[in-house]
Amino acid sequence: FHFNRYLLISSMRDTSLPANLQGIWCNKLQPAWNCDYHTNINLQMNFWPVEAVNLGELHLSLTNFIEMLSNAGRKTAKVQYHAHGWVSHTITNVWGFTSPGEEPQWGLPLATGAWLCRHIWEHYLYSTNVTYLRNNYGIIKGAAEFLLD
């Protein structure tokens, strides 16, 4: 329990990138999964405990990352699917890559953006910060618009 809290606290701040699977301790030139972010579960599971262990402020690094993805994902939604809103797929990185991955079986899931929005909602449920929810409502709405198209 405390080791998990330590890893979360030491691997990110609210203004930094969210923790990935390797954290800040990756010492390889060619790390596993390219040391990127996989939004089919890997990125999300790093953040599952943050609210329950009273580290809600760490959700802000993920919120900032989701906002960046939503901005890039608007173009992907329009170009790839002729859809409104925004989309992200399984693989992303620090530059906001939101296009489908190389293999359809793992690179094409369309709901990862909406699933990431669950973290915005989770932070709101724990913090009851209406301003936070209001500021991020457009991200949630954009993910829903894409799925409805």
Tokens of 89: 């797929």
Residue with tokens 């991020």: 136
pLDDT of residue 70: 98
Which pLDDT tens digit goes with each residue over 117-148?
Answer: 999 999 999 999 999 999 999 999 999 999 99
Comparing CA positions, the residue from 73, 103, 102 lying closest to residue 86 is 73
65 falls in which pLDDT band (50, 70, 90)?
very high
Q: What is the Cα–Cα distance from 7 to 53, expressed in whole angstroms?
A: 12
Alpha helices, DSSP H only, in the chain?
2-11, 42-47, 59-81, 104-107, 112-127, 130-148
42 falls in which pLDDT band (50, 70, 90)?
confident
Percent of the chain beyond pLDDT 90?
59
Which pLDDT tens digit goes with each residue over 76-129?
Answer: 999 999 999 999 999 999 999 999 988 888 888 999 999 999 999 999 999 999
14 falls in which pLDDT band (50, 70, 90)?
low
**What 8-state DSSP symbol labels residue 17?**
P
**What 8-state DSSP symbol labels residue 19?**
P
In this predicted structure, the answer to whether residue 1 has a pLDDT above a threshold of 90 is no
